[in-house]
Amino acid sequence: MNDLIDKLQLDIITHCTVSDWRIHDRIRQRLGVPREVLKWDQEARERYVEYAKRGTQTVHHARGMIVGCAGAGKTTLLKRLQGCSDEEIEKVKSTEGLEVHEEIFELYEETKSLKVRTSYMDNRNNEKKATDIEPKTLTLFDFGGQCAYYACHQIYLTRRAFYVVVVDASKRLNQKVDKEVCDQDGSVFSGWTYG
């Protein structure tokens, strides 16, 4: 099987053998193709091969999901990480749906630290030459904790992300969620607890 992969290279992705999921791991290891791609339909896989043959670029981009009950402090945590002022943090309102904060941090592996990307850095990056090394970046998703949003949130949940679960430590896990904070009446979440 490895011979076939080595012979066909990327064309193995559109070859009929891909319908056998047992070779997916080998293709992933030998060609570095993400396993999700191998499950796409024929047309999408053909498109992938066409684009990949034109050339590839390595991008270091992580995604983090901030999840938790309404009013737990998700947006406040995000603002604190961004180094926002107390004044700005006091203005935080309950998040509607979800907010995507794209590439707001740069990651430094050596020091295991994050740095907020400033507009100065964004401008510099826009002007950067092709030879510059791309920074490793982090995007954060700030989910609205109201239960009305849960059904659509599922679209965004992926295993290719890390999750931060925020809890209000002043609440007991067996305590019913405050209706003032999260309106769950008449929904399947009616009477649910912080746990």
Ligand X SMILES: Nc1nc2c(ncn2[C@@H]2O[C@H](COP(=O)(O)OP(=O)(O)OP(=O)(O)O)[C@@H](O)[C@H]2O)c(=O)[nH]1
Binding site for ligand X (CB under 6 A): 68, 70-76, 92, 94-95, 144-146, 166
Q: How far is residue 3 CA from its own chain's centroid?
A: 35
- Taking Cα atoms as reference points, which of 84, 74, 36, 60 lies closest to residue 153? 74
Nearer to ligand X, 34 or 195 (CB): 195
CB 166 within 8 A of CB 68: yes
Report the nearest approach of ligand X to the CB of residue 7 (Å).
Answer: 53
Nearer to Mg ion, 38 or 69 (CB): 69
Nearer to Mg ion, 3 or 86 (CB): 86
Nearer to Mg ion, 49 or 67 (CB): 67
Q: State the residue for tokens 């100065």.
A: 120
Q: Does 146 bind Mg ion (CB under 5 A)?
A: no
Report the nearest approach of ligand X to the CB of residue 101 (Å).
Answer: 13
Distances (CA, A) of 194 to 26, 175, 176, 188: 43, 6, 6, 15
Give the separation between CA 28 and CA 32, rounded to whole angstroms: 5
3-class SS of residue 62: strand
Report the nearest approach of ligand X to the CB of residue 170 (Å).
Answer: 7
Report the nearest approach of ligand X to the CB of residue 145 (Å).
Answer: 3
User: 71 to 100, contacts with Mg ion by CB under 5 A?
Assistant: 74-75, 95
**Interface with Mg ion by CB under 5 A: which residues?**
74-75, 95
